[in-house]
Amino acid sequence: MGVPFSPVGTVAVLPSPAAILLDLLQIERADRDVRRQQRLVRAAKFPRPKRLEDFEFEKNPNVSAEVVADLKSPSWVREGRPLVMVGDSGTGKSHLLIGIGTAIAEAGLTVRYITAQALVNELAEAEAAKRLSSLMARYTKVDLLCLDDFGYASLDKKGAKLLFQIFTEREERKATAVATNSPFAEWDKTFGDRRLCAAIADRITFRCNLIQTGTESYRLQATCDERQSR
């Protein structure tokens, strides 16, 4: 590359070595930040990519774009506050759960996505193999635990107690986000034991952010609209 042309009577000013070095360091830092974001998103083990920018708020007016935008900030996660999303199937709960989790991971915090049943199975297997404490510690340390399909299947007493232990260890220290089809009044059907159900509900709902996604499946409506347009 030649020296930039300068009109007669002027002198071309080239960047100083210090300025060039600063530019290179800024580029390297930006690249390192991007790679760290990608690593944190991969570590979250989301089942599929979903971003909040792609959520169709106009198709589900129950969900406030302003409320969701606030949840992109990691402040509520650092405060250890829960997030509960309640609504019927097809109303966008999983999309929101993954999208919010992705935003938090890209903000630099650790995130883990798993269904409630899969978590209970993993805990039960770890207990049988006498490594429950190490697995519990791993789930306790993650900044945001995203639990999908919460209350979808009934749990036996042992499974419910293991899940309760997770919530107890994380309470007011680490954030937990839950997506559930079941309204609070029906949670006792999932956990069987009313006292245990009340204790779990208390830990999930204390100081929680609550999003109610409603009962009308916009996913089903989108399928119907597509068929009608053919």
Give dist(CA 206, CA 192) in Å, integer: 21
What per-residue confidence (pLDDT) applies to 127? 95
Contact status, residue 62 vs residue 212, Cβ threshold 8 Å: yes
**Sign of the C-alpha dihedral, residues 85, 91, 94, 97?**
negative
Q: What is the pLDDT of residue 223?
A: 47
| pLDDT at residue number 1 | 46
List, for the chain, all residue ranges whose pLDDT scores fall below the cut of 50. 1-3, 6, 223-224, 226-228
Label residue 54 exposed, middle or buried (CB < 10 Å: 0-12, 13-18, 19+): exposed
CATH number for the domain whose boundaries are 43-229? 3.40.50.300
How far the first Cα of the chain sits from its last, in Å, is 57
- For residues 47 and 113, is the Cβ–Cβ distance under 8 A? yes
What is the three-class DSSP state of 38? helix
pLDDT tens digits, one per residue of 178-230? 999 988 778 877 777 788 888 888 888 889 999 999 888 765 555 445 444 55
